[in-house]
Amino acid sequence: MSNNGFGFQLLAEDGAARRGVITTAHGEIRTPAFMPVGTAATVKAMLPEQVRGTGADIVLANTYHLMLRPGAERIGRLGGLHRFMNWPHPILTDSGGFQVMSLAGLRTLSEEGVAFRSHIDGAAHMLTPERSIEIQHLLDADITMAFDECTPFPATFEEAERSMALSMRWAERSKAAFRPRPGYALFGIVQGSVYPSLRALSAARLVEIGFDGYAIGGLAVGEGQETMFSMLDTTVPHLPKDRPRYLMGVGKPADIVGAVLRGIDMFDCVIPTRSGRNAQAFTWEGTLNLRNARHADDSAQLDPDSDCPASRDYARAYLHHLIKSGEILGAMLLTWHNVAFYQALMERLRQAIAEGCLQNVASALLARWQEKSDITSA
Amino acid sequence: MSNNGFGFQLLAEDGAARRGVITTAHGEIRTPAFMPVGTAATVKAMLPEQVRGTGADIVLANTYHLMLRPGAERIGRLGGLHRFMNWPHPILTDSGGFQVMSLAGLRTLSEEGVAFRSHIDGAAHMLTPERSIEIQHLLDADITMAFDECTPFPATFEEAERSMALSMRWAERSKAAFRPRPGYALFGIVQGSVYPSLRALSAARLVEIGFDGYAIGGLAVGEGQETMFSMLDTTVPHLPKDRPRYLMGVGKPADIVGAVLRGIDMFDCVIPTRSGRNAQAFTWEGTLNLRNARHADDSAQLDPDSDCPASRDYARAYLHHLIKSGEILGAMLLTWHNVAFYQALMERLRQAIAEGCLQNVASALLARWQEKSDITSA
């Protein structure tokens, strides 16, 4: 372990893929890890004990949302985010950089940071690297993310270069603002759009500054899976082997499998939770839309072999009925199932790495999902 | 036990109040009992294991809703309502009589039954005593309710008399249509609006027909608590002591306390669940509206001494935040808390009856709720 209690231990390698464990102030994270997204201090439609029960070691929460409502100082006064949301395990917070550009009104980007208006009540706010780090400190995040600009896609080389350079200056200011504490970590974020040279430059600069982990940002924004994988192939070799690597905002199961094959250790994405509220279920046989009438009389469960009650104890016909009836329980059960499926997928990938057979396992999974793509609906 | 496996055992009496246990095909029901309402085969925003965990022995489901969606025959094919909704414990179904008059379109009431159009898709349907009993059989309800007309309020004596007489003829047809099975029961429903003589006549007629339990219907429809209690005082003495008595659609905690004092054994009401989706929490100190800004910084739980995680593990400030943010978890936690509170209230009343101190316990509860009424909001 490095950094007085925060650390990353590599347990096994299989090609570029790695299995490991991250140690934090609030517990360990088995990698490759999927972090369910708890935007507003709740993984939507799930109880924290359910989230934990699926095998999730860590959740992500959003600085932008929480600074606006209920407010970072308020959460600080109430004892921090772990106590607030009743999740005594590791938490990673994003920096607010992504949402401030996608959600806020009247944004003004400057060297200093981003001035904006709340999408909730129009109130004026300012996010800077220093304020972002302070908010994440108030939230008591185990893993704090450097404040960056998520470069829009598409971007010209010049736009991507300017944006990445700004993010690197903000990364330096984030590092200076971060107060090291035992078990707490600060991650830098590689930018550079789809330009390998910029990605390499960004990674090198972050390593110079020095972070406890390295994220790859600015992907999964419309560039497509092939380009995303190509950027991983380009970027990962520039990141230190002894620090965790986090691919932000990814993704569908097949994206995750491909990224793990390329050496990524951490993921977050709203897909399992958002899909769960939208009648979609991820399964080992592909994606199902439970709203579809063909499920109305189907007595089969989503996954009778699962440990997750949502996957095991309810007929698809019942889930279909709940969705058609607009019942909250439909969102609850499908979200639970999907988060459990994602965690089961990560466990399968971790096992495969430990056994040195990741390529075979990955190929089998991808082929099965491909083959069944004719029955999927999105 | 009577009726081949269904039975009611009286364990203790305290004034008019009774403590007992009902035996059914799917398990025992401790009385006085509160039945959470699972309208569309789900107690809204709760998992069945959570409902059970609060101490609920039985839930209620709605014939009207389930016959329209997903359909009684479908639930029958899928193995019945217990399996469909993953609730292997007792279930009571209403007859559809109440909802068909309050929700359906283009109703035509005749001696035969009620012709109506679905409020969901406009399809034509007919509910008769025979069809209602058949649907409840398909659902596999442990306790089937006779098909009745819930007399609208207010009603003249003549209207109430005509309506009650029709319900009594339908009760007889319901009895004839019901297929007795071990552990399954049929309850009759006393009508008669606010007229003691009609209530007495209705009760006497039902006892002549002979049912496994007796419900009091047509109350909690706007007549006020005082009139409702007066109707209980009038009606209960006409019901056999050795059968359970069920007050339909009641109520707020104070209504339940008053009705238990008057000899009622069973209750159902949407108040705890509906209130939970509407930011209201029932507590031993009165009702709270968690949407109120005064809860924004309140680190106190709803009930730190409760066994229910929703009551014990979350600050009111967090619940306030979830509600303000429109998060599903807000509805989930407040519903869970409210159902747990109702079950804790029933347990407290059962204990008080066993100890012969119900009047004292009831007075103390009612005084506390009354005293705190200045802080309640509805």
pLDDT bin (cut points 50, 70, 90) of residue B2 is: very low
* A5-21 residue pLDDT tens: 899 999 999 999 999 99
pTM here is 0.97
Q: What per-residue confidence (pLDDT) applies to A372? A: 64
Q: What per-residue confidence (pLDDT) applies to B104? A: 80
Residue of A269, A255, A214 whose CA lies nearest to A237: A214
Q: What per-residue confidence (pLDDT) applies to A317? A: 98
Per-residue three-class SS string for B174-210: HHHHCCCCCCCEEEEEECCCCCHHHHHHHHHHHHHHC
Task: Tell me which residue has tokens 């004292």.
Answer: B360
Low-confidence ranges of chain A (pLDDT < 50): 1-3, 374-378
Distances (CA, A) of A267 to A20, A37, A215, A245, B77: 14, 10, 10, 9, 42
Q: What per-residue confidence (pLDDT) applies to A373? A: 54
Identify the active-site residue in B14, B94, B148, B212.
B94
Residue of B212, B346, B363 whose CA lies nearest to B267: B346
CB–CB contact A327 B42 (8 Å):
yes
The shortest CB-CB distance from A327 to any of B44, B322, B327 is to B44
Q: What per-residue confidence (pLDDT) applies to A1? A: 42
Q: How far apart are CA B165 and CA B170, in angstroms?
A: 9
Distances (CA, A) of B14 to A6, A233, B23, B214: 62, 77, 22, 20
The shortest CB-CB distance from A327 to any of B40, B83, B84 is to B40
CB–CB contact B313 A86 (8 Å):
yes
Distances (CA, A) of A71 to A103, B171, B174, B298: 17, 59, 59, 14
Distance (Å) from the alpha carbon of B327 to chain A's nearest alpha carbon? 7
Q: Tell me the average pLDDT across B162-181.
A: 98
Q: Are B335 and B290 in contact (CB under 8 A)?
A: no
Distances (CA, A) of A5 to A25, A27, A83, A183, A213: 7, 10, 21, 4, 14
Q: Which amino acid is at A76?
A: G
β-sheet bridge partners, residue A266: A33, A246
* B275-290 residue pLDDT tens: 999 999 999 999 999 9
The shortest CB-CB distance from A325 to any of B69, B83, B325 is to B69
β-sheet bridge partners, residue B124: B117
Task: Tell me which residue has tokens 């780090």.
Answer: A133
| Backbone dihedral angles phi then psi of residue A240, each to the nearest 5 degrees | -65, 140
Residues of A in contact with B321 (CB under 8 A): 40-41, 69-70, 84
The shortest CB-CB distance from B318 to any of A47, A49, A85 is to A85
Hey, which bits of chain B come out as E strands? 7-14, 17-24, 27-31, 33-36, 59-61, 91-93, 105-109, 114-117, 124-127, 143-145, 185-190, 213-216, 245-247, 266-269, 280-283, 286-289
Distance (Å) from the alpha carbon of A134 to chain B's nearest alpha carbon? 20
Helix/strand/coil percent split, chain B, to 5 = 45, 20, 35
Distance (Å) from the alpha carbon of A377 to chain B's nearest alpha carbon? 23
CB pairs under 8 A between A and B: 104
Q: Are A246 and A216 in contact (CB under 8 A)?
A: yes
Identify the active-site residue in B142, B148, B255, B268.
B268
Q: Tell me the average pLDDT across B313-342.
A: 98
pLDDT bin (cut points 50, 70, 90) of residue B376 is: very low
The shortest CB-CB distance from A321 to any of B41, B320, B328 is to B41
* B63-84 residue pLDDT tens: 999 999 999 999 999 999 999 9
* B82-109 residue pLDDT tens: 999 999 999 999 999 999 988 887 899 9
Q: How far apart are the first and last CA of chain B?
A: 42
Residue of A177, A84, A103 whose CA lies nearest to A135: A177
pLDDT value at B4 more than 70: no
pLDDT value at B373 more than 90: no
Q: Tell me the average pLDDT across B364-371.
A: 91
Residues of B in contact with A322 (CB under 8 A): 40, 42
Strands A213-216 and A266-269: unpaired
Q: How far apart are CA A221 and CA A228, in angstroms?
A: 9
Q: What per-residue confidence (pLDDT) applies to A2? A: 45
* Token pair listed for A69: 């409502």
pLDDT value at B8 more than 60: yes
User: Dihedral of CA B25/B28/B34/B36: which sign?
Assistant: negative
* A267-286 residue pLDDT tens: 999 999 999 999 999 999 99
Residue of A59, A162, A68 whose CA lies nearest to A118: A68
Q: What per-residue confidence (pLDDT) applies to B69? A: 97
| Mean residue pLDDT across chain B | 96
Distance (Å) from the alpha carbon of B211 to chain A's nearest alpha carbon? 33
Q: What per-residue confidence (pLDDT) applies to B370? A: 86
Distance (Å) from the alpha carbon of A94 to chain B's nearest alpha carbon? 19
CB–CB contact B325 A69 (8 Å):
yes
By CB neighbour count within 10 A (0-12 exposed, 13-18 middle, 19+ buried), where does A229 fall? Answer: middle
CB–CB contact B329 A78 (8 Å):
no
CB–CB contact B328 A329 (8 Å):
no
Q: Tell me the average pLDDT across B188-209.
A: 98
Asked if B268 is an active-site residue, the reply is: yes
User: Dihedral of CA A95/A101/A104/A106: which sign?
Assistant: positive
